[in-house]
Structure 1
């Protein structure tokens, strides 16, 4: 099977024009088929605050009520087109998408248990044939963090999860490399010294969690990573956005997630 590289970009780089430009230039140099998934929650939060709409986060997850989904949809869609325009400047034939486009990513509204997350979607299905057709047409799909329920409703969906679910959905057709990029050099054992854990297995992951080395927002990212590997994704890597140019080499300086 041919190789497919799926990159999720998030964190502070989305907010900084020069850093985003640098990342996209290096992303454009990645050879072969590729897909970009981006977040943008910080930008949405800032606009919510400006508009007087409260930002409600529970365990790092955004509670998305009726007003919030309108703002999130506007911000993510606008950011998506901005990124696509920048990619065209780098010679990329990029296509900006939400999960609603081509029925690419169908979700269900998260059921109410202890917390009502509002218009938040849990991914139900990936339209792998549609995405493959885009790749075969020579385009680079760029997904924002919006999916849909096929009943006319857009849903806010975690971008890490979208990247993982697309990777799993495409793994029957490609050898998929999944890469999570942000402003840190990888998964860290010492935040102050920026000490990178070069490799994480299920056993070492449990140990790091038990000792509090890995915590908070890194846990769902790693849970997504191990889920993807268990369902057929070839490799998963986590690192600094500046290292994206080395993702296809044997010298990747970030963290590699392994099943054994």
Structure 2
């Protein structure tokens, strides 16, 4: 029987709020068993870029990563945000280690090919080094991944944090029984966007098709759900979407997604 592994992705709205981040990290530290945290930090990167006179360009919610933007992202994601999270986890008695995909050759990617849009130094994941990551977990360490990968040729790449969480879950699923958690500001997938408590508590592939047809899953929720089903189709056990309180053992109001 496989050991259970929790992989948690935290969004920018929590990272930007000092109090919310502190509460989340206390909850995350209390999660029983081996665990991995994945974070972005896009809003802070945009703020710093503006201060430095670097224009931030976005297309359909995805950042165009030119050479100067990549420098800012490396500073914010791999430096300030990552090390702040690691330090706070240490304060919560969680022995964390901060990583990018380049560290330990844990996540390799390739530069996204130019089609209609040139995303610059944006990376699409090729492989996850489950052997190295499992060794860290076995040593009692909690990996904290920022949203950066590398191509194995010396080039860092900006990679979507939701995608990194999904690919880590897939890569580790041969060794562990995986639950993937996407934490964001809502309580889950909502059947009525105006009602915060209208959480769809369980979605399978049949329910998903119906929600798409009814237009309930749309806009920014679409790529998130696509990531979820991509992971499930690659042997990840289940995916949960909700706010940070879903990490509490007694919590019931969030969305669980299965095949």
Q: Same fold (TM over 0.5)?
A: yes
Question: Counterpart of 2:92?
Answer: 90
Which whole-Å CA distance do the structure 1 matches of 2:189 and 2:75 have between them? 31
Deviations 1:107-150 (A, max 9, x none): 00000001000000000000000000000000000000000001
- Of 123, 127, 144, the match for 1:142: 144
For residues 36 and 22 of structure 2, what CA distance do their matches in structure 1 show?
A: 17
1:55 lines up with 2:51 in the alignment? no
For 2:237 and 2:211, how far apart are their aligned partners in 1? Answer: 23
Instruction: Specify the SS of the correspondent of 2:242.
Output: strand
Equivalent position of 1:40 in the other structure: 41
Separation (CA, whole Å) in 1 of partners of 2:59 and 2:213: 22
Write the distance in 1 (CA, Å) between the matches of 2:191 and 2:12: 19
Q: How many residues align?
A: 256
Which structure 1 residue ranges, 5 or more long, are not aligned? none
3-state secondary structure, aligned to 1:176: strand
Uncovered stretches (5+) of structure 2, i.e. residues with no partner: none
- 2:81 is matched with which residue? 79
TM superposition score normalised by structure 1: 0.96
Distance 2:210 2:44 in 1: 34
Asked if 1:164 is matched to 2:166, the reply is: yes
| RMSD across aligned positions (CA) | 1.1
**TM-score, length of structure 2 as denominator length:** 0.96
1:161 positional shift:
0.5
Query: Which stretches of structure 1, 4 residues or more, deviate above 4 A after TM superposition?
Result: none
Residue matched to 1:240:
243
**Structure 2 counterpart of 1:219, from 222, 240, 246:** 222
Q: Would the aligned equivalents of 1:11 and 1:183 in 2 still touch at CA under 8 Å?
A: no
Task: Give the SS at the match of 2:191.
Answer: strand
> Does the CA-based 8 Å contact 2:203-2:257 persist in structure 1?
yes
How much has 1:210 moved relative to structure 2?
Answer: 2.9
> Is 2:202 the partner of 1:199?
yes
Query: Distance in 1 between the 2:52 and 2:221 partners?
Result: 30
CA distance in structure 1 between the aligned counterparts of 2:73 and 2:232, rounded to whole angstroms: 30
CA shift digits 1:33-57 (9 cap, x unpaired): 1000011111111112222211111
Deviation at 1:153, TM superposition (A): 0.8
Structure 2 residue aligned with 1:174, among 173, 176, 188?
176
Further displaced range: 195-204 or 59-68: 195-204
On the 8 A contact 2:237/2:258 being kept in 1, the answer is no
Given that 1:24 and 1:86 are in contact with CA atoms closer than 8 Å, whether structure 2 keeps it comes out as yes
Aligned residue for 1:221, secondary structure, equals helix
Match of 1:184 in 2: 186
- 1:204 CA drift (Å): 2.3
1:23 matched residue in structure 2: 24
Secondary structure of the corresponding residue to residue 135 of structure 2: helix
